[in-house]
């Protein structure tokens, strides 16, 4: 079951690319997701394949070789990849955030240097904001940048950097005095050390790393935007795209849970019938089906609002990500429950999806941060004295 027709009102172009995305996932990603999870890494071949298909150029302008997908197509791509492997979708998320920021704020020479290669998959970007002491509260970052001749020197540590183990370029946020500023930092910059972080709970194949900057020299052209623009003007919009991407990816994970549970429930016999005929199993399946449809509609609404630059778009993206990520974790837990002991095996897709789903509740705004933001929005927009009638 996949509610993508009728009420979603996709255009012919969007329906066509969605079919293409699903076919790519079914052949190139889904059969290998458990293997990649156990290995804790993605082969570069899948990244190259995504570049060849145009997916890594999703937010890159056509003049730089990108696909320039519309916002709904970008969401549908994240859903399709999320069905197959959340680690693959995570790489698309951070790469798209970096490519968007460079396209929006990069100097002409930096755009020419990075964007065509990023679109082709020859160069992959990673988003370096989080630090050991700065996660949800990004304003607490301590990584510093100081002017040095015609460039800058970076010092500090970034942590939990998705695809940091293999990325070719990093979008790094650092302080020049008290002004948070963004820099485009190549992987081979002197003074940059990449330290792998292994055995994460979920999205294990997304190759998370710690970045250590020790007298790391970058040229003046590495500065993105102006000093002090980093957090609000650059990180904020990029994180909005990231949050939107994760929301759609959680819809894909929900869809995968439903499909995996339904397939197993139709062939597993207990007490004289397949368990799909047991009413309590039917309740779990009905909850999954309803949640995935509702989450997809929330994501579509968020995309439509963002497409028209509606003032409610940001709040809609927060709600979509909150609902889809929390729903995905419940659905993944129920998927393991339906599979029983076999769902706990290291070779099972069910246990991988449960671990990946937990990560969806943490990244791009934790569940608790989202609850605060959404509540503040509701309180700010509700008329005075509104309450039960």
What are residue 162's phi and psi, to 5 degrees? -60, 130
Within its chain, how far is the Cα of 319 from the centroid?
15
| Catalytic residue status for 364 | yes
Pairing of strands 209-219, 192-196: antiparallel
What are residue 155's phi and psi, to 5 degrees? -140, 135
Catalytic residue from among 28, 110, 260, 364:
364
Show which residues are catalytic: 364
């Amino acid at each position: 079951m996949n509610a993508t027709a009728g009420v979603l009102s996709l255009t012919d172009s969007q329906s066509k690319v969605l079919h293409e995305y699903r076919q790519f996932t079914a052949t190139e990603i889904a059969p290998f997701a458990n293997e990649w999870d156990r290995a804790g890494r993605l082969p570069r071949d899948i990244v190259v394949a995504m570049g060849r298909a145009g997916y890594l150029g999703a937010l890159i302008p056509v003049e730089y070789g990108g696909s320039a997908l519309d916002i709904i197509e970008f969401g549908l791509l994240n859903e399709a990849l999320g069905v197959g492997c959340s680690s693959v979708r995570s790489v698309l998320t951070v790469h798209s955030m970096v490519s968007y920021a460079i396209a929006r704020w990069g100097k002409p020479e930096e755009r020419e240097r990075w964007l065509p290669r990023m679109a082709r998959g020859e160069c992959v970007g990673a988003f370096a904001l989080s630090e050991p002491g700065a996660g949800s509260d990004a304003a607490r970052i301590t990584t510093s940048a100081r002017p040095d001749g015609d460039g800058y020197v970076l010092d500090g540590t970034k942590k939990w950097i998705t695809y940091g183990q293999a990325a070719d370029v990093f979008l790094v946020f650092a302080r020049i005095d008290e002004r948070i500023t963004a820099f485009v930092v190549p992987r081979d910059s002197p003074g940059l050390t990449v330290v792998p972080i292994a055995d994460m709970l979920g999205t294990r194949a997304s190759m998370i790393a710690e970045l250590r900057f020790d007298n790391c020299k970058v040229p003046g052209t590495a500065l993105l935007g102006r000093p002090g623009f980093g957090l609000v003007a650059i990180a904020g919009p990029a994180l909005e795209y990231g949050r939107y991407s994760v929301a759609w990816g959680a819809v894909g994970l929900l869809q995968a849970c439903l499909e995996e549970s339904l397939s197993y429930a139709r062939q597993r016999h207990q007490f004289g019938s397949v368990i799909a005929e047991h009413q309590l199993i039917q309740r779990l399946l009905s909850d999954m089906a309803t949640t995935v449809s509702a989450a997809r509609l929330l994501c579509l609404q968020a995309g439509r609002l963002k497409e028209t630059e509606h003032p409610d778009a940001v709040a809609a993206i927060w709600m979509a990500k909150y609902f889809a990520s929390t729903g995905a974790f419940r659905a993944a837990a129920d998927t393991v429950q339906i599979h029983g002991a076999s769902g706990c095996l290291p070779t099972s897709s069910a246990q991988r999806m449960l671990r990946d789903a937990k990560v969806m509740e943490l990244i791009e705004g934790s569940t608790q941060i989202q609850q605060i933001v959404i509540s503040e929005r509701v309180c700010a927009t509700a008329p005075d004295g509104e309450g039960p009638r």
